[in-house]
Amino acid sequence: AAAVLDYVPAERVDEKIASGKDSLTIEMKPTKKIIEEARKKRKSLFIVGFKVESGVSEKELEKRARSNIESGICDLVVANDEMKEGVAFQADTNEVLIVGPKDLKVHLPMAQKIEIARQLVDIIVDQMKT
């Protein structure tokens, strides 16, 4: 598992950036999608993608998650909206939407992260058998 940055600074600065400026602008460039590279190298690999969105509707969350299924990059995608209270990074709880092939759609309601993880593992194992 990896939480990879979507963007990195376009240029590396080898020296200290002087303080005292009113503002600082850093140009960013997109990083390579490691998950896409993994799929290219190992077609048979079972890949579960994780997608964190911000302030989207349930329908849009599903649409964005499903795009990685339809493109063939992921076998399952676990998506959530970090703007919901009690979800994602700053909480001990989570609520996720899991999408997969053949219109698979599972909503795991708000629960402790350990419980979400248990249910997720069960779904992954079940999907790997099919």
Look at residues 69, 62, 73 and name the one whose alpha carbon lies nearest to residue 102. 69
Positions in the chain short of pLDDT 50: none
Where do the structural domains in the chain lie, given as residue ranges?
44-130
Tokens coding 70: 């339809």
69, 77 contact by CB (below 8 A): yes
pLDDT digits (tens, 9 = 90+) for 84-106: 998 888 889 999 999 999 999 99
Residue 95: how many CB atoms within 10 A of its CB?
A: 18
Q: What is the CATH number assigned to the segment(s) 44-130?
A: 3.40.50.10300
pLDDT of residue 14: 92
The Cα 9–Cα 108 span in angstroms is 36
Residue 48 contacts residue 77 (beta carbons within 8 Å): yes
- Please state the φ and ψ torsions of residue 27, each to the nearest 5 degrees: -80, 135
